[in-house]
Amino acid sequence: MDYIIRKMERSDVAAVAKIEADTFTEPWSEQSFIAELSNPQATILVCDISGEIAGFADMREICGECYINNVAVIEKYRRLGIGKSLMEGLHGACSENAEFITLEVRESNSAAISLYRSLGYTQVGVRKDFYRQPTENACLMTRLLK
């Protein structure tokens, strides 16, 4: 399957917000994504398959620390390498000054944890009761960039 990973544009916001709402129990709004587009610390990438947005990844970089806010892929496109491509795109978007990249993931999300480990992330902590609906701990995972 052919797809491209590119920066999110204003015209992608509705599709990204729908993926977000379909994936997460406390989703960001369209307004949040619009605001993120004008945030110079933010990078939002989308996976475009012939004009259909199949997934997205959002990261912020502040003072040499990169934090991944969200990564999501439409269910019918999962396990095709799109999540990995989005993550690699974020890695490539980190500045030369960035020292590490970090994220949280539900403890029960074994597929995502496996992906992150394959990309060099290690678990560095647990955030108790981080998620709601249902309440669940988050694994804090980090990858050193230098």
Residues taking part in catalysis: 104, 116
CB atoms within 10 A of CB 129: 9
Pairing status of strand 65-73 against strand 42-49: unpaired
Collect contacts of 26-33 with beta carbons under 8 A, ≥24 apart: 26/132, 26/133, 28/70, 33/8
